[in-house]
Structure formats: structure tokens, C-alpha cells
Chain A
């Protein structure tokens, strides 16, 4: 079976058999390269297809479904094959889930916490970030043995390669020169949530070689903002309606994938540089003005006719920003649509109507 045909679970088990350590990693920003260098495959946990039952006992009704699904996965024992967990400090909900898993339930496996600095991103924040990276490295070394500095440099190079390939994905998409539907585009993007770089890079290159230069330019360009493109049915609906997501401002998408390469010599400073040069993000406390400017730049660059905010229900960081962003975009003549989504619940008739009405409006 080729890597492309393997399910996510089969791939991870295969990696484990090859001697790699598999970590469950919760959203959203973390130093992948450091984990890769320590022979860890980070398997991100965003929207696993489980039915939520047990997690509800631990969480209040106003907690987002990313956290709900993640906790359910752990409670159902579906993470038993993992060698550890990493909880980045993305938001209060992830933070509290980390506490439920680590302090209350007892994960029975090593848990790591990664506290990345929120805005403002001054000199102290940069120094703090480097310290946090080194703290994480030292903690991991206790479980996995010493970090090989050359391995880290090599994985950082691979990280740059992946960012540049994703950059090409987005450029081609913006120009309507990638011959794939919205669903296929994001399916490929999301393979990066668990493939080891040695496998991800050739896969991304193959995808580009197959689909480059033949896209449908006439499709209606829109920007998709929010956390993740879920439910997947929304992408199929876009295809049916002749809509092309010409760029995104998704937490799983451009906000963390499009990282300009750093020329710094010190690998830890390089990683820090990458973190601080990512596009503005609500989970990093980016100023609203920066987020607005970023969205406006995407609209300008891709000729998008509108912005769809597809926001996970109860996602605090995102919902704080949405009213201001929609107001500002509307003032500048950009139509916006706000959808609040429960993950893995398909697309209701009402939701379809909203999307269709929006497309009629911008057509």
C-alpha cells in the first residue's frame, strides 16, 4: 500500500513500526521541526470523526467542538497508541482541556506544554519564545534522548521547503491555475497535519506536478476565513456553485503554513523568526488592524468578491475578532458571510441557503 492510499491511522502505525514516536498534538502553532528532529511524528488533533458522548461530562456547553472532539478521542482510548501529547497554548479551551487530560483523567503518557507568546511581539517575546523552545527540547530529551543539532538544521530546511511548496499551492490557487476542486485542495493541505516531512514533500511536489497550470479561472473567487474548512460538504457546495476559494485566512491554512524563510544562523532563532513572521492570527492576539490588513491584501491579490467567515461555534479567539472584521470589510465594500459551524455535522439546509444566497449576492 502506498502512503497516499493509507488511512491516517495506518500511516501513523506504520511510522511507529519504523521506530518513530507518535505524538498527539492539539491546535495550532508549535515547532514541528523540533519534533521531527527528535524523530517524532506530530499527529494533529482537530476534528476526528468520533461521536461525542463521554467528553460532555467534562466540558461546559459553551466549549468549542475542536476541544470536545479532541477530549472524546482521548477518553475513548483512541490515543492509546500515541507516545505523548503536546498542548500548545492556543486558547483557554485548549489550556483547560490539557488540564482535564493531564491533571484529572491522567493521560498515562508524557504530556508537554508549549507556551508561545501572544501579542505584542517585541524583543522580550522573541527571547521568551527561544527559551520556550529550549525548555520544550530539554523536556523532550528526557523521554527521547539528546537532540542532534544537525538533524534540527535538516528538519528546518524541510520546513522551509514545505512552506515554499504551500506558498506555490496558494499562488496557483489565487490565479486559478490549480486544476483541483476546493475539497481536493484542502484535503492535500490537511495531509500536512500528520505526514512526516520525508513523505509530505514528495507528495506535495507530485500534487503540484499533476495539477499545475490547468485551473478554472472563471470560478468566483472568495476568501475563506475561520479555523478549518469543516464540514467538508461546504467545499463541495462551493464546487457546485462555481466558487473558488482563491485564498484563505484559516487557522489550519495560510495563517500558519505561509512562513517566509529565515536567514538566521541559530536554528532556535530561525524557528522563532518563523513564528513571528506568520500571518496575523487571533490565537496569537494579533491586533485587529493587522488582521484586517491581511484580509484586504488577500482580497486585492486574488480579486476575491467576498469573504466567508466559517467559524467554529464557541471559538473565543475568532469570535472576538469577527464583528470588527466584518464591519470593516463591509465599510470598504467587501461582502461578508458569517457561518457558525459545529464540526462533523454536515451541512444543514439552512447553512446551504446562506451560502447560496451569498453567492447569488456577489455574482
Chain B
């Protein structure tokens, strides 16, 4: 634990680092829990290099150096690989914490990341009450959409928008990413409207997540985190299922790192 003194005043800064299988995010907070900066980088093959890069970027954007950080929390699948973090906390707790911080009426968090998805139930203080995870296959994750967008040769951003333009939905029967891709290719060959197929693909992801939502139950307001929350196609379909709007932060991808930074602050104060 480090305490940085500045002109006689105690200044404390906290970092949350979320090392996912696809991207690494860093969030820097000050002692008021105001976000000073963040960064998002590809994780690549070397976790430590990705962390150095992402942390360096976030620190330089905040005008800080590493030794000015009072407490660092690492989260995400790569959390164990960071030797210098003060604490390692799972992404479940981190997403719950950040969702509560940003949208205090949240009681259900849906996080759809690149390689896994989770539904988390939190209480009115942001503490996790229950959760479920899909981490065994790519169905219902960002990776599924990425592969399918690739089959249409469109960007991920356009992919969600195209889904909203569909006149009808062509259901995709395969859950497996590999089989779904072949199914899509044969539908394209049959000259089916691509928007309708894309809508079917989005529905497939949403249905998968919906099963998980039902396991945990829908409680209070719902917040969505993770890169897929930027995809309007998924969000609109999920809102239809829920019958209510979903809270989404302007940068939903950093919510794991934000939660980690908030917990860094909490643990720093507890340990002090």
C-alpha cells in the first residue's frame, strides 16, 4: 500500500485492471471516486505486456506515475498474472460494484464479454447475491457475434444496426458457433435478406443470455456491461424480453476495471 503526499496533502489514487481474454482495461480513480482516466487495449498473447501498456496509457492520461497509486485491484481471467496488484477480485464482484456505483437502482447486471457472459444479482448496496456464468462455449458471447459479423464481412458496429433494420427474423437453429456459421453461409446462399439473418443471430445470443437471466431472476433495474452492450441490436432485443429499459454506461467495456478501482479504494480505506 502506498500513500502519495503532494504539497503536504494526502493524495490517493486507485487503479482497477481488468485483464480479459480479448481486451485489458484500466481505470484510474481519485480519492473522491472520480474517474481520472481509462484505457482499453488488446490483451494479445502476453498478459503482462498488455497490462504494462494499458496501465501506462491510463496513468499518462491521468498525469500520474505508477508509484502514485495507493492500491491496485486486478480482475478478469488474467488477474492472477499481475504480480504487483494489491488484491485480486473476481469480475463478478467488480461488475456488481460498478453497476451499483453508476446506477444505484441496479439489482440485475448482465455482462456480455468477448469470451463469456454473466448475469449477476446485487442487493441495494451493490453486494453480489447470486450469479450465473456461461464460460464453456462461445454461444451467447461477443465472440459469437464477432465470428458472424466476419461471415457477412461487416464491422461489429454495423452488425447491430443491421439487425434493427430487419423486416422479419430468420431463426438460427444451431447454438454452436461453428455450426451456426455454416447455417448462416447456407442462408446467404439462399439469398435470404442479410438483415433478417442478422436479426436471427442477435436473437440467438439474446435467447442464450435470457436463459441465464431466468436462472438468477430479474430484480430491480437492469444494467448491461461488457463490449456487447454497445451493440444496439442485442440491447433492443434484450429490452423487449425484459419489458423495461436497460442502463448502459457510455463505455460499458470498462465496467470491470471501474469496479476493481472502486474496490481498490474500499480496501485501501479498510486496511488503513
B90 touching A356, Cβ below 8 Å:
yes
Of residues 304 through 357 on chain A, the ones whose CB sits less than 8 Å from some CB of chain B are 330, 335, 349-350, 353-354, 356-357
Residues in B whose Cβ lies below 8 Å from that of A349: 77
Residues in A whose Cβ lies below 8 Å from that of B158: none
A360 touching B136, Cβ below 8 Å:
no
- Which of B90, B116, B127, B136 is A357 in contact with, Cβ under 8 Å? B90
Complex Cα distance, B77 from A350, in Å, reads 8
A357 touching B131, Cβ below 8 Å:
yes
Minimum CB distance partner of A356 in chain B: B90
Minimum CB distance partner of A353 in chain B: B90
A350 touching B133, Cβ below 8 Å:
yes
Complex Cα distance, B89 from A360, in Å, reads 8
Minimum CB distance partner of A355 in chain B: B90
- Which of A330, A350, A354, A361 is B93 in contact with, Cβ under 8 Å? A361
Minimum CB distance partner of B77 in chain A: A349
B113-147 interface code vs A (CB 8 A; 1 in, 0 out): 00010000000000111110101100000000000
Minimum CB distance partner of B75 in chain A: A353
Complex Cα distance, B123 from A335, in Å, reads 13
- Which of B116, B128, B130, B131 is A350 in contact with, Cβ under 8 Å? B116
A353 touching B131, Cβ below 8 Å:
no
Complex Cα distance, B135 from A354, in Å, reads 10
Complex Cα distance, B92 from A356, in Å, reads 9
- Which of B77, B93, B116, B135 is A360 in contact with, Cβ under 8 Å? B93
The size bracket of the interface on A is: 10 to 19
B128 touching A357, Cβ below 8 Å:
yes
**Which of A349, A353, A356 is most buried by chain B, counting CB atoms within 10 A of its CB?**
A353
Of residues 263 through 312 on chain A, the ones whose CB sits less than 8 Å from some CB of chain B are none
Residues in B whose Cβ lies below 8 Å from that of A330: 130
Q: How far is the CB of A128 from the nearest CB of chain B, in Å?
A: 40
Residues in A whose Cβ lies below 8 Å from that of B133: 350, 353-354
Q: How far is the CB of A307 from the nearest CB of chain B, in Å?
A: 13
Residues in B whose Cβ lies below 8 Å from that of A353: 77, 90-92, 133, 135
B91 touching A360, Cβ below 8 Å:
no
**Which of A350, A356, A360, A361 is most buried by chain B, counting CB atoms within 10 A of its CB?**
A361
Of residues 171 through 214 on chain B, the ones whose CB sits less than 8 Å from some CB of chain A are none
Residues in A whose Cβ lies below 8 Å from that of B116: 350
B90 touching A335, Cβ below 8 Å:
no
Q: How far is the CB of A222 from the nearest CB of chain B, in Å?
A: 15
Interface residues of B: mostly helix, strand, loop or mixed? mixed
Minimum CB distance partner of A336 in chain B: B130
B130 touching A360, Cβ below 8 Å:
no
Complex Cα distance, B164 from A48, in Å, reads 53
Minimum CB distance partner of A340 in chain B: B136
Complex Cα distance, B20 from A350, in Å, reads 12
A357 touching B92, Cβ below 8 Å:
yes
Residues in B whose Cβ lies below 8 Å from that of A357: 90-93, 128, 131
Complex Cα distance, B91 from A133, in Å, reads 53
- Which of A350, A356, A361 is B129 in contact with, Cβ under 8 Å? A361
Of residues 79 through 94 on chain B, the ones whose CB sits less than 8 Å from some CB of chain A are 89-93
Complex Cα distance, B129 from A335, in Å, reads 7
B130 touching A335, Cβ below 8 Å:
yes
Complex Cα distance, B91 from A349, in Å, reads 12
Q: How far is the CB of A45 from the nearest CB of chain B, in Å?
A: 27
Q: How far is the CB of B19 from the nearest CB of chain A, in Å?
A: 11
Complex Cα distance, B133 from A335, in Å, reads 15
Minimum CB distance partner of A323 in chain B: B215
Can you report 21 residue pairs joining A to B where beta carbons are below 8 Å apart? A330-B130, A335-B130, A349-B77, A350-B133, A350-B135, A350-B136, A353-B77, A353-B90, A353-B92, A354-B133, A356-B90, A357-B90, A357-B91, A357-B92, A357-B128, A360-B89, A360-B92, A360-B128, A361-B92, A361-B127, A361-B128
- Known: A353-B77, A360-B92; 14 extra A-B contacts, CB below 8 A, are A335-B129, A335-B130, A349-B77, A353-B90, A353-B92, A353-B133, A357-B90, A357-B128, A357-B131, A360-B93, A360-B128, A361-B92, A361-B93, A361-B127
Residues of A within 8 A of B (CB): 330, 335, 349-350, 353-354, 356-357, 360-361
Of all A-B residue pairs in the complex, the 4 with the closest CB atoms, nearest first, are A357-B92, A350-B135, A357-B90, A361-B128
